């Protein structure tokens, strides 16, 4: 009996010491070739390359890894939520909600903006991706050992991290590479070939109604009211690098805004109620609108602007009741619909791999 027990104990002790060392040493990946190929980014005809893109060297392997991570709930604390849960491809990479704010679209996210987030909290894209990953309001990325363990337990991630970043061992998998890969993927989400762009290039014509909508949007026809939109939603990206209060909330005091927006970051009371002026390319693909998703259709958005919204001290001087007729409201809607880029969804590089 005794020698058997000793042998058994010895075996237990051996395996007991052995498995942690295997884990600590990780797995050698140097047998897998590391030859990243530059990613051939095709810039839609209506855009020029982002001046910020130089910061990112895109590779096929990096973009592919970023795509897997984007669609994979593996990064969230309880493995239930992925980036795509809130940034839904069919809804202009938007549509989901955090605690109180609507997800911003990720299309053209590589272009300069006055900070990422509705309040402009992050200066750089990587910084904001880190925020989305780590914030308890969003993914709440597990701690380093756990996320490493999860990724290593799949058949593909160790190989993909090696191929994208040349890591030599699975122990090198970390959040820095996760952020870098996600950033590469987000950089390929470009939209700039809608009907509007084709009309600008002379390849198509607007319908008379769309033309009336465009004329009001850009104040191009003295016979039609000026809808003032293009002061803030400026082509080609139909956004501006500014924050504005477009009159959504009825308040008596700066403290009354339910979400202070930009004011929550700067601490300046007159920034309260100001939000980033978002791009409205592909906006017709969305199902709720504004920073908190309070409006449920583009018709409501246009009715809101037509009403002029709520005046307050920091209310933008570009806004006022527009006096649009029912036809004119509809014409403006028709124009907004020409900003949808239907080609976008045909790109296999952005489709979910799962």
* Residues at the contact surface with ligand HEC, assessed by CB under 6 A: 75, 81, 83, 85-87, 96, 98, 101-104, 106, 109, 113, 116-119, 125, 128-129, 132-133, 138-139, 182, 227-229, 231-233, 244, 246, 248, 275, 277-278, 280, 283, 286, 289-291, 301, 305, 316, 318-319, 332
- Give yes or no for a contact between 173 and 119, defined as CB atoms under 8 angstroms apart: no
Residue 270 contacts by C-beta under 8 Å, 6 or more apart in sequence? 254, 263, 313, 314
Q: Which of 283, 241, 230, 232 is nearest to 112 (CA)?
A: 241
Complex with ligand HEC: residue 29 or 67, whichever CB lies closer: 67
CB of 104 to ligand HEC, least distance (A): 4
- Give yes or no for a contact between 115 and 239, defined as CB atoms under 8 angstroms apart: no
Complex with ligand HEC: residue 59 or 245, whichever CB lies closer: 245
What sign does the CA torsion over 57, 280, 205, 321 have?
Answer: negative
- Work out the angle at residue 222's Cα, subtended by the Cα atoms of residues 211 and 248, and round it to the nearest 5 degrees: 75
Complex with ligand HEC: residue 103 or 167, whichever CB lies closer: 103
CB of 144 to ligand HEC, least distance (A): 16
**What is the rounded distance in angstroms from the CA atom of residue 102 to the CA atom of residue 260?**
15
CB of 100 to ligand HEC, least distance (A): 8
CB of 191 to ligand HEC, least distance (A): 13
Complex with ligand HEC: residue 37 or 311, whichever CB lies closer: 311
Complex with ligand HEC: residue 67 or 113, whichever CB lies closer: 113
CB of 289 to ligand HEC, least distance (A): 4
Complex with ligand HEC: residue 87 or 195, whichever CB lies closer: 87
Burial of 177-200, coded b for 16+ CB within 10 Å and e otherwise, reads bbbbbbbbbbbbbbbbbbbbbbbe
CB of 176 to ligand HEC, least distance (A): 14
CB of 139 to ligand HEC, least distance (A): 5
Complex with ligand HEC: residue 130 or 170, whichever CB lies closer: 130
Complex with ligand HEC: residue 56 or 286, whichever CB lies closer: 286
- Omega within 30 of 0 (cis) for the link into 191: no
Complex with ligand HEC: residue 29 or 298, whichever CB lies closer: 298
CB of 208 to ligand HEC, least distance (A): 19
CB of 152 to ligand HEC, least distance (A): 19
């Amino acid at each position: 009996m005794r020698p058997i027990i000793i042998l058994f104990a010895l075996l237990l002790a051996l395996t007991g010491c052995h498995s942690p060392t295997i884990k600590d040493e990780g797995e050698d990946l140097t047998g897998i070739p590391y030859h990243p190929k530059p990613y051939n980014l095709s810039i839609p005809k209506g855009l020029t390359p982002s001046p910020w893109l130089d910061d990112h060297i895109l590779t096929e392997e990096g973009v592919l890894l970023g795509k897997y991570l984007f669609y994979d709930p593996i990064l969230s604390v309880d493995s239930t939520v992925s980036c795509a849960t809130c940034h839904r491809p069919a809804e202009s990479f938007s549509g989901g909600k955090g605690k109180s704010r609507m997800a911003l679209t990720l299309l053209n996210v590589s272009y300069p903006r006055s900070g990422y987030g509705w309040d402009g909290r992050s200066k750089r894209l990587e910084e904001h991706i880190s925020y989305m990953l780590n914030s308890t309001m969003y993914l709440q990325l597990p701690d380093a050992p756990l996320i490493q363990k999860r990724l290593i337990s799949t058949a593909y991630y160790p190989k993909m991290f090696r191929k994208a970043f040349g890591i030599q061992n699975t122990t090198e998998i970390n959040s820095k590479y996760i952020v870098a890969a996600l950033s590469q993927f987000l950089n390929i989400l470009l939209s700039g070939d809608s009907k509007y762009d084709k009309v600008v290039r002379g390849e198509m014509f607007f319908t008379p109604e769309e033309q009336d909508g465009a004329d009001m949007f850009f104040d191009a026809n003295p016979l039609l009211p000026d809808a003032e939109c293009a002061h803030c939603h400026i082509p080609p990206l139909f956004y501006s690098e500014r924050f504005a209060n477009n009159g959504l909330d009825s308040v008596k005091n700066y403290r009354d805004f339910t979400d202070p927006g930009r004011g929550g970051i700067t601490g300046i009371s007159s920034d309260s109620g100001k939000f980033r002026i978002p791009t409205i390319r592909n906006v017709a693909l969305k199902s709720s609108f504004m920073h908190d998703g309070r409006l449920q259709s583009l018709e409501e958005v246009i009715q809101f602007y037509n009403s002029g919204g709520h005046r307050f001290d920091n209310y933008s001087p570009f806004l006022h009741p527009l006096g649009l007729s029912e036809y004119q409201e509809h014409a403006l809607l028709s124009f907004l619909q020409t900003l949808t880029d239907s080609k976008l969804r045909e790109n296999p590089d952005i489709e979910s791999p799962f």
